[in-house]
Amino acid sequence: MPEDPRAVLDAVPSPSWNREIALRFKTITALAAAALVATSLALTGCSSDGGDTDTVTVNAGEPQNPLVPTNTNENMGGRVVDRLFAGLKYYDANGKPHNEMAQSIDTPDRQHYTIKIKPDWKFTDGTTVTAKSFVDAWNYGALGTNGQVQNWVFAQIAGYDDVSSNPPKAQTMSGLKVIDDQTFTVDLKHPSIDFELEMGFAPFYPLPEVAFKDMKAFGEKPIGNGPYRFDSWDHNVKIEMTPNPDYHGGRPAKNKGLRFVMYQSYETAYADLQSGNLDALDVIPDTALGTYKQDLGDRAISKPIAYSQHIGVQQNVPHFAGEEGLLRRKAISMAINRQQIADNIFHGTRVPAKDFTAFTLDGFRENLPGSEVLKFNPDEAKKLWAQADAISPWSGTYQIAYNSDGGHQAWIEAVANSVKNTLGIDAVGVPYPTFKNIRDEINAKTVGKAFRYGWQGDYPSMFEFLTALYLTGSGTNNTDYRSPEFDRLLFAAQAAPTPEQAYDIVAQAQAVLFKDMADIPVFDYNVAAGRSDQVKKAEVTWSGLFDFENIEK
């Protein structure tokens, strides 16, 4: 294998992702508001069901889909699925991977893998977890006719293109083979420095045979192999689960169970946290960011996490295509006073973005080529805007769409004011009632204006952020950004022989994103969270979610 990254670049073919993968965006902010839910959900707190004080209550929202790992790509469903299933690996609170069901994962070249799983693991219906449980689940997720939102995750496996095509040319991926009950092999299209790390990501979980009889029904009452077993789902109200006595992995439940309570607003959830009706809240509302540490004392939680916020705009929006659009995106980025907004609104819980990923991830580098567009520079912003006007004079109002159920109004209005004051144009935030409302229009490419979106890490890697958000054909590529040069560099980075060489190439790939101004990175996150006085221990993980198994009352 070549050691020079330049040789790696020449050795990796350009990808042929020429179709849009059917994948819905993974929400990081939605609270899944529902009309039937009461304004206050305090009654669904920890003492509401017959005084059950042993169960840990945590904030949540209604999952967008039934609880199937390959069809869950938003964090309200994801936080539940990750409790109910166990994969080959899991990530601890710091993002370090550990073997979970994997006994060994061997590869001579990072392209061909032999995976052995531990014996004597069972699903909660009593059936045994085998190598076939993994292979069948992955093939199901990849098959185009199944319409799984995490379909794209399997694109690196040999045979994916035939399985995911419409109509499919094959029913199973040629790169997956079951050897025996404890062993299967995986052949990738090209070497990957990241594949083994991905093995704790939800789409790679196994499924029991019963799931394939009726996947929709299965998703309503999932049968898993994780640290908890599913108990009930009262839609738009709560999901409950209890510890799985047959779980043999490294993250056993240290509590009596979890109740995920679905709130309409963070303000209501915070009130319940303070009154003891909620045990753990992973998002403090903007209105309390200046006081929550005083309110909660040593029960307040703050730490850097792998979570980023962006503003995107699609190419079909007037004034934002071609050279004019490039100039305007760069001008708007340089018209945003990120530091002022972070200080005045978020009280240090946001950090001005420095790249297109998150500053907590391995490989993060400041001062990448082109990253000066992320710095507040009113004079340069005005200059670029004038250059765009020379191509086509600006008219109308710069609008930024956001979902009002996710606590975004204050910072979006601040961004709009910063743009307005710098460029001398009308700029406003445009609220959509729910996350679903705005996502439907973004996915259909009918939103017709700029929009905010965020990304929260699924596994601790820069590759996940860059692949999901900017690779040609990824269903979470919100702006439909397409660059063969970026795609080639990203695949080359995956094929690099060492992490440092991979990060060198990732830096080149991000330079392409800056050159094209693929979207506008705005903030990275320091989480603001808290626990109630009834909880002894509650830690937030590398991604910003609670370490649910280790919450102790």
Terminal CA-to-CA distance of the chain, rounded, Å?
Answer: 52
- Show the domains of the chain with their CATH numbers: 56-243 (3.40.190.10), 304-526 (3.10.105.10)
- CB neighbour list of residue 200: distance below 8 Å, 6 or more residues apart: 87, 88, 89, 90, 91, 97, 100, 459
From the CB of residue 98, how many other CB atoms can be counted at a distance below 10 Å? 13
Q: Which residues pair with 303 in a beta bridge?
A: 527
Alpha carbon distance 238, 247 (integer Å): 23
**Do β-strands 102-106 and 183-187 pair in parallel, antiparallel, or remain unpaired?**
unpaired
- CB of 308 within 8 A of CB of 538? no
Instruction: Report, in angstroms and rounded to the nearest whole number, the Rg of the chain calculated over CA atoms.
Output: 23
Three-state SS at 103: strand
Nearest to 239 by CA among 257, 265, 216: 257
Alpha carbon distance 105, 184 (integer Å): 10
- CB neighbour list of residue 420: distance below 8 Å, 6 or more residues apart: 398, 426, 427
Place of tokens 């092999």: 185
Alpha carbon distance 68, 224 (integer Å): 10
Structure tokens at 352: 């001005």
H/E segment holding residue 303: strand 300-312
pLDDT of residue 404: 82
Question: SS3 string of 403-432?
Answer: EHHHCCHHHHHHHHHHHHHHHCCCEEEEEE
Alpha carbon distance 135, 184 (integer Å): 8
Nearest to 366 by CA among 501, 232, 258, 507: 507
- DSSP conformation class of 546: B
Question: pLDDT truncated to tens, each residue of the chain (553 aa)?
Answer: 333 333 333 334 433 333 333 333 344 333 333 333 333 333 333 333 434 678 999 999 888 899 999 999 888 899 999 999 999 999 999 999 999 999 999 999 999 999 999 999 999 999 999 999 999 999 999 999 999 988 989 999 999 999 999 899 999 999 999 999 999 999 999 999 999 999 999 999 999 999 999 999 999 999 999 999 999 999 999 999 999 999 999 999 999 999 999 988 889 999 999 999 999 999 999 899 999 999 999 999 999 999 999 999 999 999 999 999 999 999 999 999 999 999 999 998 999 999 999 999 999 999 999 999 999 999 999 999 999 999 999 999 999 999 887 789 999 999 999 999 999 999 999 999 877 788 889 888 999 999 999 999 999 999 999 998 999 877 789 999 999 999 999 999 999 999 999 999 999 999 999 999 999 999 999 999 999 999 999 999 999 999 999 999 9
**Do β-strands 97-99 and 89-91 pair in parallel, antiparallel, or remain unpaired?**
antiparallel
Alpha carbon distance 494, 190 (integer Å): 8
Alpha carbon distance 508, 282 (integer Å): 35
Q: Which residues pair with 524 in a beta bridge?
A: 308, 351
Q: Which residues pair with 217 in a beta bridge?
A: none
Nearest to 308 by CA among 243, 374, 261: 374
**Do β-strands 398-403 and 450-456 pair in parallel, antiparallel, or remain unpaired?**
parallel
Largest Cα separation within the chain, whole Å, is 69
Nearest to 176 by CA among 137, 129, 119: 137
Nearest to 352 by CA among 369, 331, 373: 373
pLDDT of residue 506: 98
Crossing angle for the helix pair 322-334 and 409-423, to the nearest 10 degrees: 110
Alpha carbon distance 422, 398 (integer Å): 13
